[in-house]
Amino acid sequence: MSPESLRAAVADARRVVVKVGSSSISGPNVGQIEPLVDALAAAHERGTEVVLVSSGAIATGIPYLLLDARPTDLATQQAAAAVGQNILIYRYQESLRRYAIVAGQVLLTAGDLENPTHRSNAQRAMERLLKLRIMPIVNENDTVATHEIRFGDNDRLAALVSELIGADLLVLLSDVDALYTKPPQEPGAEPIGYVAADDDLAGVELGDIGAAGVGTGGAGTKIAAAKLAAASGTAVLLASTSNVAAALTGQPTGTWFEPTPRV
């Protein structure tokens, strides 16, 4: 995709979902929240409807539970999420306050999007928030989710939210600036700028994306989520969190996944 086509596609996207991972906005990277909000607010001010899917509840809660690492048992994960989600939303709202934008918290479980009634309720609430110019901030409801019903990672959640609200564009942010032909730290790794709708990426060697021990996603989950969203008609851009402003203004960055045309 040419730089001109990319800018046009992003500019034409009236409804955008942006997903950010735990490692990008917690711990030593908590300072990335403000530039992330700057980019989201700029899109919002242009009239774009913006939904943020943000991981980070458990990672944010860990130090407040005086833990040294991510807990492995479900009960402590739920406790960390209960504490961390409150702090995470507070941080976002404090940053959004600079732009007089109000955030709306939306917590979902996998069961919510599988149950027709719950799915309809979630869709109606999201639509109303967007019409009111509230910025929905979505996360998995880690406090009540169990291992059996979890989304597994918020990349998939972001793809499902994109499908739920008919988003034009999904921006998947990570610590890496694009999808590469092999893990980017390996010799010979080359960035992939464009993925056609029928490209199965069979030749790509997968590696993790994100800081070990904090997030749960990787390159495989990014690809699966991008393909899921693209199959429903949503274009996908995989980019680094530090390049979010460039991504949301259509500058050449990251990896673009071509969407399947909507019928």
Binding-site positions for ATP read: 19, 174-175
Residue 24 burial (10 A CB sphere; 0-12, 13-18, 19+): buried
Sequence ranges of the binding site? 19, 55, 142, 154, 174-175
Which residues sit in the known binding site for substrate? 55, 142, 154
For residue 205, the tally of other CB atoms under 10 A from its CB is 11
Compute the distance between CA of residue 57 and CA of residue 27 in angstroms, rounded to an integer: 11
15 beta partners: 49
Compute the chain's Rg from CA coordinates. 17
Query: b or e along 145-173 (b: 16 or more beta carbons within 10 Å of the residue's beta carbon)?
Result: beeeebbebbbbbbbbbbbbbebbbbbbb
